[in-house]
């Protein structure tokens, strides 16, 4: 999964942080008090059968991420959102299915070109 934020400064302080069981690491990025109101997200999702548990987790977590970006929570209970709401959110999703190349395997459900890295439509 990739989170793309506009580069607002040449060097941002970054620290790797665990983001949940079995899904790897992310980065905490401090962008200052002015907030980020335009966000592009690109998810590259491994859609192989062995990743079904991770896919189920993403099916729950991605809507929660989108919800919190467009309607920020008030975790510190000060009556104000914890960050500025995102005004422009663009999401792209691609899978790791690049197919089998020029070889067809008997009984395989894989297409020769797969999804070829193209962004998914209609999700």
Half-sphere exposure for 5 (CA within 13 Å, toward CB):
17
Give strand pairing partners of 28. 15
pLDDT (tens digit, 9 = 90+) per residue, 82-114?
A: 888 999 999 999 888 777 667 776 766 666 677
More confident residue, 69 or 122: 69
Quickly state the pLDDT bin for 37 (edges 50, 70, 90). Answer: confident
Report pLDDT for 91: 92
Q: Is the Cα torsion angle 24, 65, 9, 28 positive or negative in sign?
A: negative
Cα 119 from Cα 16, distance rounded (Å): 27
* pTM of the predicted model as reported, rounded to 2 decimal places: 0.59
pLDDT (tens digit, 9 = 90+) per residue, 61-80?
A: 999 999 999 999 999 999 99
């Amino acid at each position: 999964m990739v989170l793309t934020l506009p580069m607002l400064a040449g060097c941002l302080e970054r620290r790797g942080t665990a983001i949940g069981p079995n899904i790897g690491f992310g980065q905490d990025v401090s962008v200052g008090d002015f907030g980020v109101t335009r966000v592009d997200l690109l998810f590259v999702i491994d859609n192989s059968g062995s990743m079904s548990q991770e896919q189920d987790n993403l099916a729950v977590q991605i809507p929660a991420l989108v919800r919190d970006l467009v309607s920020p929570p008030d975790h510190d209970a000060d009556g104000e959102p914890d960050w500025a709401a995102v005004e422009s959110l663009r999401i792209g999703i691609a899978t790791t299915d690049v197919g089998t190349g020029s070889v067809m395997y008997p009984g395989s459900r894989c297409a020769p070109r797969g999804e070829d890295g193209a962004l998914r439509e209609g999700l």
